[in-house]
Amino acid sequence: MKKLIVNRDNLKEEDMTEVVKRVKVLLTNSNNEILLGYSRNEYQFPGGHVEETENLIDTVKREVMEETGIILQDENIEPFACNLGYYKDWPEVGKNRKIEIYYYEIKTDEKPNLENTNYTENEKKGNFELKYINLDNVEKELLDNANEYGDPHGITKEMIELFKIYKELKQDNSLEY
């Protein structure tokens, strides 16, 4: 698993006052496409926060179902990358937050089922929708969208970085089905 670490303040594990875990999923199909969420003029990988009683795989299944309506079977999946961020005085002074984001690739030809989705109020207000994009055009689509609307949350930069890792691992045959 490829690890990316952001730690501008050289914080140690014992400096962390809270840990937030998230998962993000690259849902690909045999048509050489990826399924992405789109809301408030930003693309995003399906995913979200790990809840207290969940493990990473349970979170992957729940988030994919909530955002796409696709019900995943008991997949034997492992993350292909992990982004570890150490942030001093965030979200407020005196708190240091570690954010762990685990990235998975799942290949499925199952189509989204919007009747199974469970969007948050924020997603509904942002007109959340799902879009298939050809894998050969993903980076261009992300960049074109960011150039038109900006990248205020850094999501596009993160997605492109992770997509490059994904492509490298695929090329090296490090990602198996």
Q: Is residue 77 part of a domain?
A: yes
If one counts the domains in the chain, the total is 1
Q: Name the pLDDT band for 98 (thresholds 50, 70, 90).
A: very high
The mean pLDDT value for 85-99 works out to 96
86: helix, coil or strand?
Answer: strand
For residue 139, give its domain range.
2-171
Residues linked to residue 20 through DSSP beta bridges, in sequence order: 99
Helix (H), strand (E) at residue 168: helix 155-171
pLDDT 10s digits, 46-62: 999 999 999 999 999 99
Query: What pLDDT sits at residue 155?
Result: 93
Which pLDDT belongs to residue 176? 58
Distance CA(61)–CA(50), nearest Å, equals 11
- CA-only gyration radius of the chain, Å: 16
Residue 80 lies in a domain: yes
State if pTM tops 0.85: yes
pLDDT band at 159 (very low <50, low <70, confident <90, very high): very high
Report the distance separating Cα 47 and Cα 155, nearest Å: 13
CATH code (residue 109): 3.90.79.10
- The model's pLDDT over 104-140, given as tens digits with 9 standing for 90+, comes to 999 999 999 999 999 989 899 999 999 999 999 999 9
What is the predicted pLDDT for the residue at 76? 76
Calpha distance 57→92 (Å, rounded): 30
Q: Is the pLDDT of residue 27 over 70?
A: yes
Residue 91 preceded by cis peptide, ω within 30: yes
**Residue 176 covered by a domain:** no
Mean pLDDT of 8-36: 97
